[in-house]
Amino acid sequence: MIDAVLNDVSGFTLVHDEPELDAAGTFIVKPDGHCVIAMKDGSLRHMARQLPDDVRTSLADIVSAEIVRMDGLRPVARATIPVRLVS
């Protein structure tokens, strides 16, 4: 599971429950709204859903995202990764 949250208070946050995503390097947003997480080892992790147009537009000013791994309701790992919009 990977969820994306964008708001004025906390900015852009990715929430997941997969330990392998602790090695995320960069969050990449394609023009069609599809997203890819580039891992530190060079591999790519494609997200199943597209971001809506309004969210993609809001990300234009965002340079980083917090990525948080959850175990139930408890956060167990946090990091900040760059966000890149590609055209």
* 83 in Cβ contact with 63 (< 8 Å): yes
Query: What is the rounded average pLDDT of the residues 66-86?
Result: 96
- Nearest Cα neighbor of 78 from 64, 68, 86 is 68
Give the model's pLDDT for residue 70: 97
Higher pLDDT, 8 or 65: 65
pTM: 0.90
d(CA 33, CA 71): 28
- Tell me: the pLDDT tens digits for 9-44? 889 999 999 999 999 999 999 999 999 999 999 999
What pLDDT, on the 0 to 100 scale, is given for residue 22?
A: 95
Domain residue ranges in the chain = 2-85
